[in-house]
Amino acid sequence: KNQVEQSPQSLIILEGKNCTLQCNYTVSPFSNLRWYKQDTGRGPVSLTIMTFSENTKSNGRYTATLDADTKQSSLHITASQLSDSASYICVVMEGYSTLTFGKGTMLLVSP
Amino acid sequence: KAGVTQTPRYLIKTRGQQVTLSCSPISGHRSVSWYQQTPGQGLQFLFEYFSETQRNKGNFPGRFSGRQFSNSRSEMNVSTLELGDSALYLCASSGGRGGYTFGSGTRLTVV
């Protein structure tokens, strides 16, 4: 069964600190992996999309890595800000259109 | 370029009633997919429509149905509402190349 597991479930960090969120998947055939940021009560917003051949992609203070061999991805947030408080969801696409979602990591950035 | 528009934003219904949610995709996008998001289950795929045809379907009961119109706008209908149907319902539109843009969602509360 295709699965996407994220860790930790929740995380609290101080403003200005860095953090790394993890995503392990068993989706096959793999097409691409995305990280989304979702503010409470809003729809997810895409941060990065990586295909099999890409092992790192950045979007401002967000850097995602992908190891397709071990089926692991991470999202690193640098110099966190209060506005980074949100749920971060790892999503893996199988084939052309089937998405499998992780349950997300809830990040709280504390002043 | 306007984003994905979902209406209404909030909805309160009574058990046994039915509800219709609307999603207007980004102009030019022909694919619309629907998701249910609950705190315990995360995001779960309901169905996807492309050019007025259902292309993919998740594991939800037949009470959940949808359709897509010739202008790509989509509606989702839930009949005989149950308390467990309370959730954030999200739609996403895609113009191909694997990019999905989500709307802000409709928060449905069943009482």
For A48, nearest residue in chain B (alpha carbons): B99
Section B39-65 average pLDDT: 91
Section B54-71 average pLDDT: 94
Distance between CA atoms of residues B50 and A35, nearest Å: 24
Q: Residue length, chain A?
A: 111
Asked if residues B21 and B75 have their Cβ atoms less than 8 Å apart, the reply is: yes
For A49, nearest residue in chain B (alpha carbons): B99
Distance between CA atoms of residues B105 and B36, nearest Å: 9
Distance between alpha carbon B68 and the CA centroid of its chain, in Å? 11
Which of B102, B106, B109 to mutate against chain A (most A CBs within 10 Å)? B102
Residues of B in contact with A46 (CB under 8 A): 99-101
Q: Is B105 in CB contact (< 8 Å) with chain A?
A: yes
What is the reported pLDDT for B102?
94
Contact check, Cβ <8 Å, B42/A89: yes
For A87, nearest residue in chain B (alpha carbons): B42
Please spell the DSSP secondary structure of B86-105, one letter per residue.
Answer: -EEEEEEEE-STT-EEE---
Annotate chain A with three-state secondary structure. CCCEEEECCEEEEECCCCEEEEEEECCCCEEEEEEEEECCCCCCEEEEEEECCCCEEEECCEEEEEECCCCEEEEEECCCCHHHCEEEEEEEEECCCEEEECCCEEEEEEC
pLDDT tens digits for A40-58? Answer: 888 999 999 999 889 999 9
Q: β-strands A56-59, A62-67: how paired?
A: antiparallel
* In the predicted structure, residue B3 carries a pLDDT above the cut 70: yes
pLDDT tens digits for A48-102? Answer: 999 988 999 999 999 999 999 999 999 999 999 999 999 999 999 887 777 889 9
Asked if residues A36 and A88 have their Cβ atoms less than 8 Å apart, the reply is: yes
CA of A44, closest CA in chain B: separation in Å?
Answer: 6
Asked if residues A107 and A13 have their Cβ atoms less than 8 Å apart, the reply is: yes
CA of A96, closest CA in chain B: separation in Å?
Answer: 7
- Higher pLDDT: B6 or A41? It is B6
CA of B50, closest CA in chain A: separation in Å?
Answer: 11
Residues of B in contact with A40 (CB under 8 A): none
Phi, psi of B83 (to 5 degrees): -55, -35
Residues of B in contact with A34 (CB under 8 A): 100
Residue A84 tokens read as 């980074």
Distance between CA atoms of residues A77 and A57, nearest Å: 12
Contact check, Cβ <8 Å, B56/A98: yes
Q: β-strands B87-94, B100-102: how paired?
A: antiparallel
